[in-house]
Each structure stands twice: as C-alpha cells, then as structure tokens.
Amino acid sequence: MKKISIAQGMVDISQKDKTKRVAVATARVQLSREAFGQFIRQGSPKGDVLESAKVAGIMAAKQTPAMIPMCHPLLLSKVAVAFKVDKKQKAIDVFSEVVCLGQTGVEMEALTAATVAALTIYDMMKWSDKNITISDIKLLKKSGGKSGDFLRRESK
C-alpha cells in the first residue's frame, strides 16, 4: 500500500497545555507637519481618528486567522488599543495588547491590531497629506507558553 503524504498546514497544537498568553505590539504613524497640524486642529472629516483606529485594531485582532494563513483561531479574552501622540516628532504611536487562555500565542493578533489601527489613521488623515509613513511595527513583549517570556531589547 502506498503511503499518503499530507502537505504541511496548520501546526497541530492539540497536545499543548492551555496557558495565559499575552502579547503587546506597536506601530508608529509618522505624519507630515501639515497632516499633524490638521490632526491636532480638526482631526478628519471622516470622524474621530483615534476612536476609529481603536475599533479597527480590535476588530482586526479578532479577524487575524481570516487574514493570515495557518494562524489558529483563538478565543480572545482581551484586546486593547491605545495611542501616544508625540507632538515633538509629529507622530502617533499605536500600542495593542491581546490576551487569551489558549494553546498558542497571540503575537500575530497583537501585531495585526497595531498595524490595522495605524492603517486606519493613515486612511483617515490621507486627505490632508499622503506623505504619511507607517513604520516600526514590532512585538514589544509576550508571555505564556512553552517558549516563555519575551521582552524586546532596543538596539542602539
């Protein structure tokens, strides 16, 4: 009898223990002087920029498996999105935190939340100036699971 070969797919996590998983990610939205001024003075004609970006980030975290192949669907316990407006640098830093009790990590959900929130800021402010840059998308920390904790060390 010929052995059937099955191509790789989603990783089997059925033998892994459920643990509390937490991930925090960030992204930076760098606006031009003009766009930042418009953001501070009047926001966007589309509505509240940061509230819209927060909702978009939360929704994106929940939809991560639909966007990223081989990403496990997870029952998320918490998704939070927050912002730090850096007036000196004319930038908005996006922070996301995702928590679940599960068999695999939530890094992709946190990264997706931060990225989509940043994209939403771009979308809502592009009317003012399209010279907006999204950068520095990265995982800041994660905890839980067999691989243990991770805390990003900033290189100098």
**What is the residue-wise DSSP string for 72-126?**
PP--EEEEEEEEEEETTTTEEEEEEEEEEEESS--HHHHHHHHHHHHHHHHHHHT
What does the pLDDT read at residue 7? 65
Q: What is the mean pLDDT of the chain?
A: 94
Ramachandran region, residue 71 (left: φ > 0; alpha: ψ -120 to 50; beta: rest)? beta
Domains along the sequence of the chain with CATH: 19-144 (3.30.70.640)
The confidence band for 156, taking pLDDT boundaries of 50, 70 and 90, is low
User: For residue range 62-88, what is the model confidence (pLDDT) as tens digits?
Assistant: 999 999 999 999 999 999 999 999 999
Residues annotated as part of the active site: 123
User: For residue range 30-56, what is the model confidence (pLDDT) as tens digits?
Assistant: 999 999 999 999 999 999 999 999 999
What does the pLDDT read at residue 81? 98
Claim: this prediction has a pTM higher than 0.75:
yes
Tokens of 79: 């998704």
- Answer yes or no: is pLDDT of 5 > 60: yes
User: For residue range 89-128, what is the model confidence (pLDDT) as tens digits?
Assistant: 999 999 999 999 999 999 999 999 999 999 999 999 999 9
C-alpha–C-alpha distance, residues 60 and 150, integer Å: 23
